[in-house]
């Protein structure tokens, strides 16, 4: 009696709604992420002023702010279920794949909300050149997808280990380097008027590979 | 009889354990056990602390992978894979916790929605009514007493009207009225489905028609 597609979709949707409602009520991740992003951008802006000509620094700064502002919350997606002892409840109502997809969608929405506040603030405070919006949003979107997929997968894998905090950082770091490198390169290229094709292809392929691995792995998690 | 109290589908089902075992680190856990039980009926699993009662229920529910042997659950002659057990099993255990930031009703409605049940809020309300928690439906889970949380666990297990109920220490933290509720739930379920109760309480194992005593090493004799 395998779960059918409609019940899996219902589970993903229910988990996504549950995550959004939980975040709305507890403000566990969003407040801290926004505080980090706004404080960092304000601090850097006071220290070095506007950097309209330094597209290399601007590209790196935007990704560093987004990465560190979001990482604590993204990493916590599964840990909070383990530490709150609610993982058993979740596993009794949904398949591991549905759980992970629900959390991945929430992480994407979380990143989207964070970027909605951070990017305009970044452009205003740092005085960057006007972006080529299509290319800019494509790099940002694919980078966010790769970032969310990677952190969701690593978070799911390490959630039931003892040293999950240290393990998450150790496993995520090499995996996120690819996303950071391609994301920074892509943003810089769009500001400099250079082609972004190679970076976009790398981000898309990387996100697809991680998502593919995730779908294969999720149903084998948490059985021991 | 309200909606949640309606009997489950009267389909023949059987549960067989073939050398089923799960050993955690240190060789503790469930030692190999074999048995066959069929519906309608109720079976009690008893044994010393650490003999593997809760582990056995987790294995049957598909929450754990056995390190040896297998459990075979057949429903209407069709084997239900461990990954799909959540569809046909209702599970209540002290380890089952709810989301503190949600009310009792919201917790159950989320579970019903994730299970793909129609009218999740209606199902959740009916389940709360069945366990006598309807007046506390709007209270956050964190505000419920231990006994109320135990009732909420029972409501969670009954939510989707499963043919198999797995109850781990169902009477823990319950008052007399709560224990009578457990009696009624087991009595109703064993007439049309299967109940497995892990307990060392005489009142609870006497609710069952069969008894399996686990002879694992327990706490006193670590392997």
Query: pLDDT averaged over chain A?
Result: 90
Residues of chain B under the 50 pLDDT cut: 1-8, 220-223
* Lowest-confidence pick of A37-41, A94-98, A156-160, B8-12: B8-12
A contact residues 80-139, partner B, Cβ 8 Å cutoff = 84-86, 88-95, 98
Coil, helix or strand at residue B68 = strand
Q: Which of residues 3-22 of A touch B (CB under 8 A)?
A: 3, 6-7, 10-11, 13-15, 17-18, 21-22
Mean pLDDT value of segment A159-176: 85
Q: What is the mean pLDDT of residues A123-130?
A: 89
Asked if the model's pLDDT at residue A11 lies above 50, the reply is: yes
The answer to whether position A41 is within a domain reads yes
3-state secondary structure of B24: coil
Give the nearest partner residue to B114 out of A22, A94, A219, using CB atoms: A94
User: What DSSP character marks residue B72?
Assistant: E
Shortest Cα distance, chain A CAs vs residue B76, angstroms:
11
Question: Each residue of A34-69: pLDDT tens digit?
Answer: 999 999 999 999 998 888 789 999 999 999 999 999
DSSP code, position B143:
G
- Tell me which of A5, A22, A93, A95 to substitute to probe the interface with B (most B C-beta atoms closer than 10 Å): A93
Residue A224, in any domain of the structure: no
Q: Please tell me which of the candidates A2, A22, A92 has its beta carbon nearest to residue B81.
A: A2
Nearest residue in B to A2, CA atom: B84
Task: Give me the half-sphere count of Cα atoms (radius 13 Å) on the Cβ side of residue A60.
Answer: 6
The more confident residue out of B154 and A79 is: B154
What's residue A77's pLDDT? 87
Q: Which of B80, B90, B109, B116 to probe by mutation at the A interface, max A CB count within 10 Å?
A: B116
Chain A residues within an 8 Å CB radius of B87: 1, 3
CB-nearest to A11 from B88, B100, B114 is: B114
C-alpha distance from A173 to closest chain B C-alpha (Å): 30
Residue recorded with tokens 């809020």 = B121
**Residue range A109-119: mean pLDDT, rounded:** 95
The confidence score (pLDDT) of residue B7 equals: 44
pLDDT for the residue numbered B4: 40
Q: Is residue A141 part of a domain?
A: yes
Secondary structure string (H, E, C) spanning A155-185: HHHHCCCCCHHHHHHHHHHHHHHHHHHHHHH
Strand ordering across the sheet containing B29-38: B29-38, B13-23, B68-75, B78-80
Confidence of residue A165 (pLDDT cuts 50, 70, 90): confident
Mutate to test the interface with B, among A11, A21, A89, A218 (most CBs of B within 10 A): A89
Whether residue A152 has pLDDT greater than 60: yes
Distance CA A73, CA A105 (A): 13
Using a CB-CB distance cutoff of 8 angstroms, which residues of chain B are in contact with residue A100? Answer: none
Whether residue A59 is contained in a domain is answered as: yes
| Predicted local distance difference test score (pLDDT) of residue B10 | 62
Q: Do the beta carbons of residue B214 and residue B52 sit within 8 Å?
A: yes
CB contact under 8 A, A22 and B88: no
A89 within domain boundaries = yes
pLDDT given for residue B91 in this prediction: 97
H helices present in B131-201, as ranges: 146-158, 176-192
Distance CA A150, CA A161 (A): 18
A223 domain residue, yes or no = no
Domain count, chain A: 1
**pLDDT interval class at A209 (50, 70, 90):** very high
Nearest C-alpha neighbor of A106 from the set A199, A13, A8: A13
Instruction: Indicate the pTM of the whole model.
Output: 0.89
Write out the residue range of the structural domain in which residue A59 sits: 5-218
Neighbouring-strand partners of residue B75: B13, B78
**Up-side HSE of residue A132: CA atoms within 13 Å toward CB?**
16
* Residue A116: burial class (beta carbons within 10 Å; 0-12, 13-18, 19+): exposed
Judged by DSSP in three states, A148 sits in: helix
Task: Name the residue in chain B with its Cα closest to that of A98.
Answer: B114
Of all residues in chain A, the percent with pLDDT exceeding 90 is 71
pLDDT digits (tens, 9 = 90+) for B100-155: 999 999 999 999 999 999 999 999 999 999 999 999 999 999 999 999 999 999 99
CB B141 within 8 A of CB B107: yes
Residue B26's pLDDT is 66
Q: What whole-number distance in Å separates Cα of residue A222 and Cα of residue B16?
A: 23
Tokens of A45: 């802006």
**ipTM attached to this prediction:** 0.90
Pairwise CB contact (< 8 Å): B116 & A7:
yes
Residues B156, B127 contacting (CB under 8 angstroms): yes
Task: Tell me what pLDDT residue A164 has.
Answer: 82
Residue A53 lies in a domain: yes
Evaluate whether residue A101 is within a structural domain.
yes
Q: How far is A22 from chain B (nearest CA, A)?
A: 7
Please give the pLDDT value at position B27: 67
* Residue A17 with chain B: CB contacts under 8 Å: 110, 113
For residue A224, give the chain B residue with the closest CA: B64
The Cα of A154 is separated from the nearest Cα of chain B by a number of Å equal to: 21
CA angle (A177 as vertex; A175, A178 as ends), nearest 5? 80
Q: Which of B96, B100, B107 is nearest residue A88 as measured by Cβ atoms?
A: B96
């Amino acid at each position: 009696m395998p779960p059918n597609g409609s019940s899996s979709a219902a589970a993903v949707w229910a988990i996504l709604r549950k995550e959004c409602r939980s975040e709305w009520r507890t403000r566990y991740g969003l407040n801290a992420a926004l505080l980090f992003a706004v404080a960092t951008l304000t601090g850097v802006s006071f220290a070095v002023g506007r950097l309209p000509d330094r597209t290399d620094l601007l590209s790196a700064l935007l990704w560093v702010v987004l990465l560190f502002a979001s990482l604590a919350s993204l990493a916590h997606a599964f840990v909070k279920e383990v530490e709150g002892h609610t993982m058993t409840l979740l596993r009794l109502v949904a398949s591991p794949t549905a759980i992970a997809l629900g959390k991945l969608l929430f992480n994407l929405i979380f990143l989207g909300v964070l970027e909605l506040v951070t990017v305009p603030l970044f452009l205003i405070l740092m005085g960057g050149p006007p972006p080529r919006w299509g290319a800019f949003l494509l790099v940002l979107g694919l980078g966010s997808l790769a970032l969310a997929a990677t952190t969701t997968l690593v978070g799911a894998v390490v959630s039931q280990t003892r040293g999950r905090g240290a393990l998450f950082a150790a496993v995520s770091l090499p995996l996120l380097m690819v996303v950071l490198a391609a994301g920074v390169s892509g943003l810089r290229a769009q500001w400099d008027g250079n082609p972004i094709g190679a970076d976009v292809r790398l981000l898309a392929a990387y996100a697809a590979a991680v998502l593919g691995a995730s779908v294969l792995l999720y149903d084998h998690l948490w059985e021991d | 009889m309200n909606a949640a109290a309606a009997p489950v589908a009267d389909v023949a089902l059987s549960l067989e354990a073939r050398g089923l075992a799960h050993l955690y680190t240190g060789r503790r856990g469930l030692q190999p056990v074999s048995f066959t039980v069929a519906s309608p009926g109720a079976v009690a699993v008893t044994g010393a602390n650490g003999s593997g009662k809760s582990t056995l229920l987790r294995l049957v529910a598909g929450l754990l992978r056995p390190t040896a042997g297998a459990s075979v659950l057949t429903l209407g002659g069709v084997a239900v894979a461990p990954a799909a057990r959540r569809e046909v099993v209702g599970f209540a255990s002290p380890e089952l916790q709810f989301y503190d930031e949600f009310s009792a009703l919201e917790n159950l409605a989320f579970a019903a929605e994730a299970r793909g049940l129609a009218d999740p809020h209606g199902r959740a309300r009916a389940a709360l009514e069945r366990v006598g928690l309807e007046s506390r439906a709007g209270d956050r889970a964190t505000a419920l007493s231990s006994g109320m949380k135990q009732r909420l666990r029972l409501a969670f297990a009954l939510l989707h009207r499963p043919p198999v109920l797995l109850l781990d220490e169902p009477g823990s933290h319950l008052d007399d009225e709560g224990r009578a509720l457990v009696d009624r739930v087991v009595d109703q379920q064993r007439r049309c489905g299967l109940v497995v109760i892990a307990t060392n309480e005489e009142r609870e194992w006497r609710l069952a028609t069969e008894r399996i005593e686990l002879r694992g090493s327990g706490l006193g004799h670590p392997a």
